[in-house]
């Protein structure tokens, strides 16, 4: 069904004819000498999200009766599109909202109304009680990752845009939640954002170890290492670097880490290294891990910056523990 044309002028009642304005053929009243313009009608939609679930309403009336959609409706004369969005939200869901941001705009054509322009806003609930309005048979939150088929293509586009905008924030939040155990989780953690950089470090362990060797065998803070066998030093540092992800991610529990570094402290004492040499050598390991991570130059997005900062935090927490246990082992009296 095609949208019907005007037959009579709403001002004088005369029949409407057609006349070109420039290159466009428009409806025209010869008596009033005015053109009539068909502009897109504004439709507003609202995204309310809670714990990665998006609020939808099931349509009670045609068109698309029985399908789910965002709280949506036409903007009325005398109200802003933001006011219209909040009005439709409350009428259809019972929720009082506050606009947070503009999310998406889209154009489409309706068989009855003609051209429409969909304006979608993100809002938050500030009051009201969730319940379906007169035009809805149900109202419910759906997981963003498992949305039902939506009644309107423009709603689908807006939801996909919203999820894409939020995905980086959600990834950071997930990674922060996983990482906030400060490395003390004996069961290990997976899917931290910085795991990508940890894998890069492990894959390039030989290069990092050689950089460490070049530093530790000449550095002023590690004189005890200047004449030590280079191959033996390489094997020692490579064990730490090549298994860096397991140390950080729970492949070894706290007891394993404590025992390993306490034993390392005891061995270095027997070999005649000063404690300051041993701690400086560990600090240089930390330095080269961090510098290598920075050399990857992944600073394209906010999430990349967070990934590097998260890795720095994990490295710092790990080596703080390592230094502590080395000192404890070094200072433990030999029976």
Percent of the chain, pLDDT > 70?
A: 88
Say what the pLDDT of residue 37 is.
Answer: 83
Confidence bin at 119 (pLDDT 50/70/90): very high
Tell me which residue of 171, 153, 175, 180 sits closest to 52, measured CA to CA: 171
Domain 41-176: which CATH class?
Answer: alpha beta
For the stretch 139-164, pLDDT in tens is 999 999 999 999 999 999 999 999 99
What's the pLDDT at 300?
58
Ranges of beta strands (E only) in 30-94 are 34-36, 41-50, 53-59, 68-69, 72-74
Q: Which two three-digit tokens encode residue 198? A: 């940890």
Tens of pLDDT, residues 1-27: 455 678 899 899 999 999 998 898 989
For residue 118, give the nearest of 56, 68, 151, 73 by alpha carbon.
73
For 244-297, write each residue's pLDDT tens digit.
777 776 666 788 889 999 999 999 999 999 999 999 999 999 999 888 887 876
Rounded-to-integer distance, Cα 150 and Cα 228, Å: 69
For the chain, the domains span: 1-38, 41-176, 195-331
Phi and psi (nearest 5°) for 234? -60, -45
| Topology of domain 195-331, CATH | Globin-like (1.10.490)
3-state secondary structure of 58: strand
Between CA 198 and CA 190 the distance in angstroms is 12
40: three-class secondary structure by DSSP:
coil
Q: pTM for this structure? A: 0.58
Average pLDDT, the chain: 86
Q: What would the mean pLDDT of 76-103 be, rounded to a whole number?
A: 96
Q: How far, in Å, CA of 45 to CA of 135, rounded?
A: 14
Cα–Cα distance for residue pair 160/182, rounded to 1 Å: 34
**In CATH, what class is 1-38?**
mainly beta
pLDDT for the residue numbered 298 = 60
pLDDT score for 196: 78
Task: Give residue 249's pLDDT.
Answer: 64
The alpha helices in the chain, defined as continuous H runs, are 81-93, 153-179, 195-203, 205-216, 230-242, 244-249, 254-270, 275-295, 302-331
pLDDT exceeds 60 at position 188: no
Of 9-23, 58-72, 118-132, give the range with the top mean pLDDT.
118-132
**Residues 308, 294: contact at Cβ < 8 Å?**
yes
The Cα–Cα gap between 182 and 189 comes to 11
Model confidence at 40: pLDDT above 80: yes
Whether 27 and 16 have beta carbons less than 8 Å apart is answered as yes
If you average pLDDT over residues 66-80, what whole number do you get?
A: 94
Single out the residue of 202, 282, 201 nearest to residue 237, CA to CA: 282
């Amino acid at each position: 069904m095609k949208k019907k044309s005007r037959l009579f002028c709403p001002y004088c009642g005369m029949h409407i004819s057609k006349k070109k304005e420039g290159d466009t053929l428009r409806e025209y009243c010869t008596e009033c000498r005015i053109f009539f313009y068909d502009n897109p009608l504004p439709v507003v939609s609202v995204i309310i999200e809670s714990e990665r679930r998006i609020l939808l309403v099931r349509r009670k009336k045609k068109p698309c009766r029985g399908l789910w959609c965002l709280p949506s409706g036409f903007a009325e004369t005398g109200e802003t599109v933001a006011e219209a969005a909040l009005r439709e939200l409350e009428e259809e869901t019972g929720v009082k909202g506050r606009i947070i941001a503009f999310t998406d705009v889209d154009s489409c054509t309706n068989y009855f109304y003609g051209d429409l322009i969909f304006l979608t806003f993100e809002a938050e609930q500030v009051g009201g009680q969730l319940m379906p309005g007169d035009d809805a048979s149900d109202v419910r939150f759906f997981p963003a990752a498992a949305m039902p088929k939506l009644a309107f293509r423009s709603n689908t586009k807006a939801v996909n845009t919203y999820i894409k905008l939020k995905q980086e924030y959600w990834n950071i939040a997930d990674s922060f939640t996983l990482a906030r155990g400060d490395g003390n989780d004996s069961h290990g953690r997976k899917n931290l954002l910085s795991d990508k950089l940890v894998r890069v470090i492990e894959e390039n362990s030989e290069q990092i170890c050689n950089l460490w060797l070049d530093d530790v065998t000449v550095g002023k803070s590690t004189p005890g290492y200047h004449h030590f066998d280079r191959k033996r030093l390489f094997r020692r540092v490579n064990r730490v670097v090549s298994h860096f992800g397991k140390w950080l991610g729970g492949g070894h529990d706290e007891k394993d880490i404590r025992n390993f570094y306490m034993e390392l402290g005891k061995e270095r004492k027997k070999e005649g290294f000063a404690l300051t040499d041993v701690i400086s050598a560990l600090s240089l390991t930390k330095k080269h891990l961090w510098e290598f991570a920075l050399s990857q130059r992944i600073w394209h997005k906010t999430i990349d910056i967070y990934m590097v900062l998260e890795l720095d935090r994990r490295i710092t927490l790990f080596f703080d523990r390592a230094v502590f246990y080395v000192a404890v082992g070094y200072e433990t009296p030999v029976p």
